[in-house]
Structure 1
């Protein structure tokens, strides 16, 4: 009778794409993010939902290294955001609420600029710029000034800017704000195609519950700086009761409050300015 072979060591669980532990941040005396614990799985589309001023954008800025955490800990694919900022930035593509494309430059020039900013090696830069434009369906319009693009094309151009460095994590802060339903669908079609092709993780904020319901694998609802609910859209709807929608879950979590927290007149102005330029 042969002796049993060595017992194989258990494989470690896949490293979380994003892990936040006890995350906090304050602006003056206002606590914008208040003890957020969150884990985003590799390859999923994760929606961070909540009313204006809930703390979503502040959380995203801490994850993307743009804002230091007041307290707590954030890792991106196992890298400590506070200690390895540049390494983390190389893993992330970010599309903010405010427009990041320059209307005076062509689409190709805009993406090439981001390729330089993200330190894409010179030998690979031309190919990656072309590949990013092709991914979002803008190759035929690449040499037109971005100022002549429609709102939907601008958002797809910003996707190309974020994708040019082949990020493992794509962060989208209100990616379809100000767009009509057709343009919104076109942007999400591109996001879905890119995710399926590359396996990248997507973190998105949106006020459109139909988008979250249709495209997100899991969602977290945030209110007054804290996470109030977490799960798949179907789980959250079922937990509230038969026939409930994600809109109903949103209302139950926020108590129908339209605006709370740090969202102020500058946030409203910036959002309206973005919507006007995209419209």
Structure 2
């Protein structure tokens, strides 16, 4: 790696575009991924996250733009690139009748080098399942196995495409711990997700992607600070109208359907005035919540929609 270009920036993406007929799935995205970081692509289903990953790992050819991974071009150097990257995709197909150990050994045989299989199985918390057939594993165990297959050749960069989708909360937390341990071990990780809490916990930097475009990119903390508020008041107005200019310390107001999101620099003062005005003007509201501002609020502020629409 030391003699190749892009040592500090393991991934460099410039103006990637991918179209399917009249649909532009990815529309000119630009970003870099630093060595040793967890970089997140956060957005709703259909935003272009998976298509972006597929172009970066050589599965789809960009219509326009360019990208390099570890100094290798993602279009012309796919063969060399495979030695330095590991990939876990949403649609990973596993050989159901093989055992966990057999499957990992088979994948390891595809590469010039491989890690210690026993240690890899243990690190993925699959030691007790190593002799079980893949078809008998739970959803979380299959996801950990898919990550093990991506790591079998000790890659520098690991792509994880929505690795916790469909898992129960406990299985998600287990996978989070494994991902954070990979970072401790020096891996560079590109993670796609539509779970805001997952992105906030795991990622050093996040690119928020919507309708094929990156609409914001920074650390989770700095993205939330775009709201100029640490706190949010969320509620539904059932009857009446409120003039937001009457409320003190409000930094931003966003409306989504009949939900109102008020961001405040002084939560107590804003809330007390809100309740007073609602009582005085007979404004009826429901489902009032007070909470810290999150990446969900950033997405609503930027797009006017929730991250995961029903």
- TM-score scaled by length of structure 2: 0.74
2:217 alignment counterpart: 230
Task: Please give the alpha-carbon distance, in whole angstroms, between the structure 2 residues aligned to 1:211 and 1:252.
Answer: 19
Task: Please give the alpha-carbon distance, in whole angstroms, between the structure 1 residues aligned to 2:204 and 2:222.
Answer: 11
Does the aligned pair in 2 maintain the 1:132–1:161 contact within 8 Å? no
Task: Please give the alpha-carbon distance, in whole angstroms, between the structure 1 residues aligned to 2:10 and 2:109.
Answer: 25
Task: Please give the alpha-carbon distance, in whole angstroms, between the structure 2 residues aligned to 1:187 and 1:149.
Answer: 15
Q: Number of aligned pairs?
A: 243
Task: Please give the alpha-carbon distance, in whole angstroms, between the structure 2 residues aligned to 1:186 and 1:258.
Answer: 24
2:142 alignment counterpart: 154
Farther off after superposition, 166-175 or 106-115: 106-115
Tell me the SS of whatever aligns to 2:9. Answer: coil
Does the aligned pair in 1 maintain the 2:124–2:178 contact within 8 Å? yes
Task: Please give the alpha-carbon distance, in whole angstroms, between the structure 1 residues aligned to 2:205 and 2:98.
Answer: 37
1:169 alignment counterpart: 157
1:40-68 Cα offsets, whole Å, 9 max, x none, are 11100011011121111111000001111
1:130-153 Cα offsets, whole Å, 9 max, x none, are 232122121232111121212211
Runs of 4+ deviating beyond 6 Å: 257-260
Tell me the SS of whatever aligns to 2:116. Answer: helix
Give unmatched runs, 5+ long, in structure 2: 232-292
Task: Please give the alpha-carbon distance, in whole angstroms, between the structure 2 residues aligned to 1:98 and 1:251.
Answer: 29
2:175 alignment counterpart: 187
Question: Of the candidates 254, 259, 272, which is equivalent to residue 303 of structure 2?
Answer: 254
Distance 1:112 1:88, change over 3 A: same
2:149 corresponds to 1:100: no
Task: Please give the alpha-carbon distance, in whole angstroms, between the structure 1 residues aligned to 2:61 and 2:216.
Answer: 25
1:276 alignment counterpart: none
Does the aligned pair in 2 maintain the 1:20–1:36 contact within 8 Å? yes
After TM superposition, list the pairs within 5 Å mapping 1:198-277 onto structure 2. Answer: 199-242=186-229, 243=231, 244-256=293-305
C-alpha root-mean-square deviation of aligned residues, in Å? 1.9
Task: Please give the alpha-carbon distance, in whole angstroms, between the structure 1 residues aligned to 2:101 and 2:7.
Answer: 36
After TM superposition, list the pairs within 5 Å mapping 1:57-72 onto structure 2. Answer: 57-72=50-65
Task: Please give the alpha-carbon distance, in whole angstroms, between the structure 1 residues aligned to 2:166 and 2:172.
Answer: 9
2:244 alignment counterpart: none
Larger fraction in strand:
2
1:173-205 Cα offsets, whole Å, 9 max, x none, are 0100111110000011111112202x0100001
Give unmatched runs, 5+ long, in structure 1: 1-11, 261-279
Tell me the SS of whatever aligns to 2:167. Answer: coil
